[in-house]
Amino acid sequence: MRKFMKLFKSLLVAPATLGLLAPMAATANEVTINDFNAAEEIAVTNSRVDGLEARLNNFEAGSFSETTVASFSVDAVLGSIDGSATGESTSLDYQFNIGLSTSFTGEDSLDIAIDSGSATASSMGTAMGFDTGTSLVVDGVTYTFPVGGATMVVGDATDISATFTGACVYSSFTDYTPDDCGTGNSLGAGGKGVAASIGYEFDNGFSLAAGISSPSTEIVGDKSDLYGLNAAYSSDTYGLAIGYVTDDGGSKNVDRTGEETTTWGFQGYYSFDLADLSVGYESQEKAGVDKTGYFVGLSFSEVGPGSVNVAAATKSLYKDTETEYMIYEASYSYPVNDGMTITPGVFITEGTTDETGVAVKASFSF
């Protein structure tokens, strides 16, 4: 800014001086050089430029807080799915995300997520879990702050698992096998509107966390609330995590929305010399009916310039009497540069109609 203003001053002073000298040469018989005080004219010009500089500085300083940081990401996928309900389909989908974060004390963080995506969800966009809607939409507002030695997260449209510690090192390609290693109902539990989550990390690798979420219209009332607990241990070579979540279904006498649902989830990873193994298991009980699901994934971190991820998992949670449908995926992710990553991959989903997908995803961050 200072270099710009110095150049700006020079540009203003030069024409002003030349403009004043030109009439002097044209009317030398009427005006003498003593009638012109160049120093005064330059001083006036400098004064005006200084005032302009001060206004620009005030505008710049007031635009954003010095502690506010913005991050942007764009994901695009070009792919084809064969065997879907609509037959073979090829599509190009995208999503755009903005993250705004600011701190007031240096230890807290106010975070706002803004999302946009393809106008409609194609089969491939759904498989990737992309956002939809061409308008920018606020996807969540959270405030993170310390409470003693613990970390507290409160906000709207956030998860009760915001402070949970997982034990999954697998990077998923599709939304069918999410990053929480198939434990999306427990260790990756969401929320019902307003949520609060608190976690504490011990120095020895252990951590504890808890969360609660309620509909925004009635916090911890007669309507359905979500509660969760988490305990984990992690080291350089292995880690274990367990999560427990219950949806109380609402009061038994007032505005009951359904039966109580309880879910247990387990994650674990182990790092071998060649690859990292990630596993997940989840069990859910509702109205006396039990359902289970599992996940197994391998991550090879050094394959040429990139990394390979291969996984198999149940497509959902199933009762013992139900047929288990599986999903398989394999992908190769390599960074083109610091802000761009290309990931080609394939996946197969079982069901009443099996589907096979091939896609290339490009991820940009800036």
Q: What is the mean pLDDT of residues 144-154?
A: 96
Pull the structure tokens for residue 264: 């247990």
Beta bridge partners of 147: 150
* Among the ranges given (49-53, 109-113, 209-213, 352-356), the one the predictor scored with the smallest mean pLDDT: 49-53
Is the pLDDT higher at 132 or at 105? 105
- Residue 44 predicted with pLDDT over 70: no
- Residue 6 predicted with pLDDT over 50: no
- Residue 1 predicted with pLDDT over 50: no
Could you give the percent of the chain with pLDDT greater than 90?
Answer: 57
Output the pLDDT for position 290. Answer: 96
Output the pLDDT for position 40. Answer: 65
User: What are the phi and psi torsion angles at 34 (to 5°)?
Assistant: -70, -20
Work out the pLDDT band at 25, boundaries 50, 70, 90. Answer: very low
Residue whose C-alpha is closest to residue 141's, from 113, 101, 115: 113
Tell me the C-alpha distance between 197 and 212, whole Å: 6
**Residue 225: CA atoms inside 13 Å, Cβ hemisphere, count?**
15
State how far the alpha carbon of 120 is from the alpha carbons of 139, 217, 245, 311, 355, in Å.
Answer: 17, 29, 32, 28, 20
Work out the pLDDT band at 250, boundaries 50, 70, 90. Answer: low
Tell me the C-alpha distance between 135 and 130, whole Å: 14
State how far the alpha carbon of 122 is from the alpha carbons of 139, 150, 321, in Å.
Answer: 21, 42, 32
> Mean pLDDT score of the chain, rounded to an integer?
82
For residue 61, give the 3-state DSSP assignment: helix
Tell me the C-alpha distance between 244 and 260, whole Å: 13
Under 8 Å between Cβ of 24 and 31: yes
Work out the pLDDT band at 48, boundaries 50, 70, 90. Answer: low
Go through 214-251 and write b for each residue having 16 or more CB atoms within 10 A of its CB, e for each that does not: bbeeeeeeebbbbbbbbbbbbeeeebebbbbbbbbbbe
Output the pLDDT for position 178. Answer: 65
pTM of the shown model: 0.75
For residue 211, give the 3-state DSSP assignment: strand
Output the pLDDT for position 219. Answer: 76
- Residue 245 predicted with pLDDT over 50: yes
User: What are the phi and psi torsion angles at 44 (to 5°)?
Assistant: -65, -45
Q: What is the mean pLDDT of residues 287-304?
A: 94
Output the pLDDT for position 131. Answer: 82
